[in-house]
Amino acid sequence: MPDYKVAFLTMFPAETARLIIEPVPSGFQVTTEHTSAPEARKIEILKDADFVILFGERPTDAMLKACHKARMVQLLSAGFDAVNVGLLGEMGIPVANVGGVNRIAVAEHAVTLMLSVLRKLPQRIEAVKTGNWRADVSGLDTFELYNKQVGIVGLGKIGSWVAGILKGFQTHVVYHDIRDIPKKEEQELEVTRVPFEDLLRTSDIVTLHVPLDNTTRDMISTRELAMMKPTAVLVNTCRGPVVDEPALYQALKDRRIWAAGLDVLVKEPPDMSNPILTLDNAIITPHAAGSARDNMPRRGKFAFQNFQRLLSGQEPLSLVTPTAK
């Protein structure tokens, strides 16, 4: 019996791509192509694929329509907003995200942003490099994470891992989620559920861990920012459009909130004229929270195990569209 053909489109260089998919389980033959390849080349390999893996690819509808043989599309990221999952659903092709395989890296990055903002690490590092040793260290403009209230918006796989890390910092963690979280899980994580508005009003740090959809787009805008403390920090490691970027810029510029730590922006990469890049109270990283050498093999393993589940008649894990009939 011939191997199942897998088309793997990735933004990462060849070395990283090999780390993700090797060793390939028996029964699968993988063709890897970089996202910078011409669309015609990508369509060529997609039209023969039994399975598709996407990592950093934003496929056009023409590319998706070429997947007429595909049994499943597996994303190697948590977000699925870059793919027209509605079209794939109409085609009867199930789509799954990475199922929290990257949750450790994203959660660690979120906490790193909290610490970097509170301790003003980028500014301090830059001062040392430019010969301004302790020039602006007053002792009054940096803070401890200890004893702060952290509000987690979205207590899913990533948000719950953030809560687990924060236990070691002896913070007070509250959360808001549209799902019902079992009391046992709340007790283990030492978190308290509160209404969204209360979370915004009372938290020293607000960290966002929600998918991007019609219910979460611009969920943090002028109204929500006005509810936050003037000493509050906003951290976003999920998706840029979850935050109304012009509203955040104005709130930061006017010091209506103290600072922000962002791994995502509305447009990526941003135009260098984007005013948020000029702010000294915004720390911005290049949508790199989930990337870590440790989790690359786990992503590939998850994908092939999901393919094997489908082939054996089981429902794949972390579906974002219904299983094909």
**4-10: strand order across its sheet:** 28-34, 4-10, 51-55, 72-75, 95-96
Active-site residue flag, 172: no
User: How many Å is the maximal CA-CA distance in the chain?
Assistant: 71
Task: List the structure tokens of 306.
Answer: 């999901």
The set of residues, in sequence order, having a beta carbon less than 8 Å from that of 48 and lying 6+ positions away, is: 5, 7, 69
Q: What are the angstrom distances between the C-alpha of 17 and each of 5, 36, 55, 134, 241? A: 16, 14, 10, 43, 28
Let me know: does 145 contact 169? Beta carbons within 8 Å: yes
Residue of 103, 109, 209, 287 marked catalytic = 287
Question: 130-139: which pairs have CB atoms within 8 A and are 24 or more residues apart?
Answer: none
Task: List the structure tokens of 142.
Answer: 């940096």
Residue of 144, 197, 268, 315 marked catalytic = 268
How far apart, in whole angstroms, are the C-alpha atoms of residue 237 and residue 49?
32
The set of residues, in sequence order, having a beta carbon less than 8 Å from that of 250 and lying 6+ positions away, is: 222, 256
Phi and psi of 121, rounded to 5°? -60, -45
Burial class (CB in 10 A: 0-12, 13-18, 19+), 314: exposed
Active-site residue flag, 71: no
Residue of 71, 176, 209, 239 marked catalytic = 239
Element (H, E) at 226: helix 222-227
Alpha helices, H only, 91-176: 103-119, 121-129, 157-167
Active-site residue flag, 57: no
Task: List the structure tokens of 302.
Answer: 């998850």
Catalytic residues: 239, 268, 287
